[in-house]
Structure 1
Amino acid sequence: MGDYIKENFTFPVMLICLLGIVSLIFIFPALKMIVLGAILAFIVRPVAFKLQSKLKYSSLSIILAMVIILIPLILLVGYLTYELSSVASAILSSSSAAGAKTSIISLINYLPVNTNPEAIYQQISSSFETIVSFIASYAMSFFGKFANLTLDLFILVCSVFYFVRDGDNFLAFIRSFVPKDDLGFFDDVVGSVKDVLKSIFYGHFLTAVIIGIFGCIGYSLLGYQFGIFLGVLTGILQLIPIFGPWPIYWTLFFIDIISGNYVRAIIVLFFGFFLSSIDMYIRPALSSHYADIHPLILLVGFLAGPLVYGIVGFIVGPLILGITYTVLDCYRKKYLGVE
């Protein structure tokens, strides 16, 4: 054992380990943006390569590809922020508040419980005010850290750019440290990681986009005040395995029932069933060509990711867990002989 330690833990190895630990401590605050940059680079890379065939400079094609990919995301965040403020203003207005109170009390009267509807409404109202207060304080603290937010965005943009431009060199650098006997395993892991990324993006994010678009069109045609916003929320909820579009259309169904709009209530319910059913066809059709990720892995990633990395965790969480599962799967197939 002592000879093994002397043979393998030489001074260069110990120096590399020490510098690696110190470097990790320094980059840890920015690690989530670096990881997110590597993930986004996987999306930007194909677009950049297509543009590069028509442009002379590779750096210019990468920047244009980043603009094409990132600007819609920024616009989506801005739109959600604007619509949330509009919805909050509409809910908190006196007329809307009175109508909401009447609707909630009417719904309570339908329930088979012997209690005071006014007392239940007061509890619901108090809970809602607490939630709104929490969201407002979180938003204020979020925008209050503008300097940190700017630095994170700068690190993210730089990470995406350099991972797109030098990703192959970075991968080759890591590969050079892999023993020859394990190069096959390393290449299998890299290929499997790419399949995981494709499966999650094509099978889950693209499915959410398609269902969100259907939701925007359907809710707008049915005459809902915030039809597009409801469709966007439907697409976002579609990303979460245990949710999907049902919280939106069931809420609209009960609102229409309470308000007496029975025809639209039935239509929106059937439309919601349509949104839920097409997921069973779109998702397998898009992801079946790549890795098959168990829904529990995605569920844990979506729920635990934000607790560790904040809002970025909704993307990083399921991807990291999916990649970890793939690496373990490659290991058992390569070294344990398990199929």
Structure 2
Amino acid sequence: MDSERAFVAALVGLALAVSALVVRPFFTFVALAAFLAYALFPLQRWLAPRLESRLGPRLGRRVSALVLMVVAAVLFVLPFVLLVQVVVRQALAVAEAVQSGAVDLGVLRDLVGPGVERTLAEFARAAAGRIAEETPGLLGGASNVAVGVTVFGFALYSLLVGGESVVAWLREVTPLPRRVEDELLAELDRLTYAVLVTQGLIAVVQAVLTGAALLVLGFSNVLFWTVLAVVFGLLPFVGSMFIWLPAAVFLLATGDLLGGAALLVYGFGLVNLTDNYLRPVVGGRSANLDPTVLVVGIFGGLAAFGFAGIFVGPIVLGFTRSLVDVAAREYA
């Protein structure tokens, strides 16, 4: 009997290892699908019964999932594609304005020397081309994007339709007391909610602060730059600084020394402090995580898992701590 159990355990371990190798190339897409399904599931729980009463249990739940997927695509994917297109157009417009002399770079010309207009125009065009070429590869390589999006769609659909059955299956195969299962699942739910809300909240706060500064300083297309700042705010090592810092340099280059200096002080003194301090404080309190663990989870997850690791890392560290606590209390 012991040899039989050992064989089954080895077989299960081998299957899990091979499955991990299969999923690994598309882990980012699967993880993002899981997070989006988690965010959309309250809507699925509300919409599905209403459609089931008209279409039947099976068809109603599936139609509800498809409706939410279309809504998510319209709200998230389509704006991202349009955002890239607008960024490319803006970069090309800047290149033309600089090269034609419509933008006066007198201060920057005095500092750098003649020919700065041509250099900046070439840089803007190169940046636009780079963005257009590299954006498809943001999630792990341009050649994998089409397959990855397909995996994302199927994973999201399956989780929306059968998410509750997945949880029930995990409860069934897990040899733990019901109260321990409830505790661990509640902890995982709390951590996931806290991490998603924290990342989104900080990105929005930074973007609003950046947009307000650009509005006061007289920039055009403030709404566009604010939305772009939200996207950048989700990315470690990037943040809204990639919006307000070029804006400050532009003001300085065009002779608005007071506005450029004020934006630099505002950005480094307020916007950056929001990211450096509000993220650990809000995330640490809502997820009951030490700020150091939260920051290590964000950057470690990014290094280990790519973009999805921004969310996965803190959840893994927080859940590991809870798992160790339960193991020490129940089985030590």
Q: Same fold per TM (> 0.5)?
A: yes
In structure 2, which of residues 156, 160, 169 is the aligned counterpart of residue 173 of structure 1?
169
In structure 2, which of residues 269, 286, 289 is the aligned counterpart of residue 289 of structure 1?
286
Following superposition, the deviation at residue 73 of structure 1 comes to 1.0
Return the alpha-carbon distance in structure 1 between the equivalents of residues 136 and 31 of structure 2: 26
Tell me the equivalent position of 1:69: 72
Following superposition, the deviation at residue 124 of structure 1 comes to 8.3
Once structures 1 and 2 are overlaid, which stretch shifts more, 287-296 or 81-90? 287-296
In structure 2, which of residues 297, 322, 331 is the aligned counterpart of residue 330 of structure 1?
322
8 Å contact 1:196–1:319 — kept in the other structure? no
Tell me the equivalent position of 2:83: 80
Look up the SS of the partner of 1:230 in the other structure.
Answer: helix
Q: Does 1:106 align with 2:120?
A: no
Distance 1:18 1:336, change over 3 A: closer
Counterpart code for 2:62: S
Return the alpha-carbon distance in structure 1 between the equivalents of residues 254 and 91 of structure 2: 20
Return the alpha-carbon distance in structure 1 between the equivalents of residues 280 and 296 of structure 2: 16
In structure 1, which of residues 254, 259, 270 is the aligned counterpart of residue 249 of structure 2?
254
Following superposition, the deviation at residue 157 of structure 1 comes to 1.7
Following superposition, the deviation at residue 14 of structure 1 comes to 4.5
How many percent of aligned residue pairs carry the same amino acid? 16
Q: Where in structure 2 are the equivalents of 1:165-244 lying within 5 Å?
A: 165-180=161-176, 185-216=180-211, 218-220=213-215, 222-240=217-235, 244=239
Distance 1:32 1:248, change over 3 A: closer
Look up the SS of the partner of 1:93 in the other structure.
Answer: helix
Counterpart code for 1:89: L
Tell me the equivalent position of 2:29: 33
Return the alpha-carbon distance in structure 2 between the equivalents of residues 100 and 212 of structure 1: 28
In the alignment, structure 1 segments of 5+ residues that lack a partner are 109-116
Counterpart code for 1:83: V
Look up the SS of the partner of 1:206 in the other structure.
Answer: helix
Q: How many residues align?
A: 314
8 Å contact 2:37–2:160 — kept in the other structure? yes
Q: Where in structure 2 are the equivalents of 1:141-156 lying within 5 Å?
A: 148-156=144-152
Give the TM-score taking structure 1 as reference length: 0.73
Write out per-residue CA displacement over residues 115-150 of structure 1, whole angstroms, 9 at most, x where no aligned residue.
xx56999998888777666545535888xx988534
Tell me the equivalent position of 1:318: 310
Following superposition, the deviation at residue 190 of structure 1 comes to 2.6
Once structures 1 and 2 are overlaid, which stretch shifts more, 211-220 or 316-325? 211-220
Look up the SS of the partner of 2:286 in the other structure.
Answer: coil
Once structures 1 and 2 are overlaid, which stretch shifts more, 158-167 or 326-335? 326-335
Once structures 1 and 2 are overlaid, which stretch shifts more, 226-235 or 70-79? 226-235
Following superposition, the deviation at residue 180 of structure 1 comes to 3.1
Return the alpha-carbon distance in structure 2 between the equivalents of residues 277 and 29 of structure 1: 36
8 Å contact 1:107–1:258 — kept in the other structure? no
Give the TM-score taking structure 2 as reference length: 0.74
Distance 1:71 1:133, change over 3 A: closer
Return the alpha-carbon distance in structure 1 between the equivalents of residues 18 and 249 of structure 2: 57
Counterpart code for 1:327: F
Return the alpha-carbon distance in structure 1 between the equivalents of residues 326 and 186 of structure 2: 14
In the alignment, structure 2 segments of 5+ residues that lack a partner are 54-59
Counterpart code for 1:332: V
Once structures 1 and 2 are overlaid, which stretch shifts more, 167-176 or 147-156? 147-156
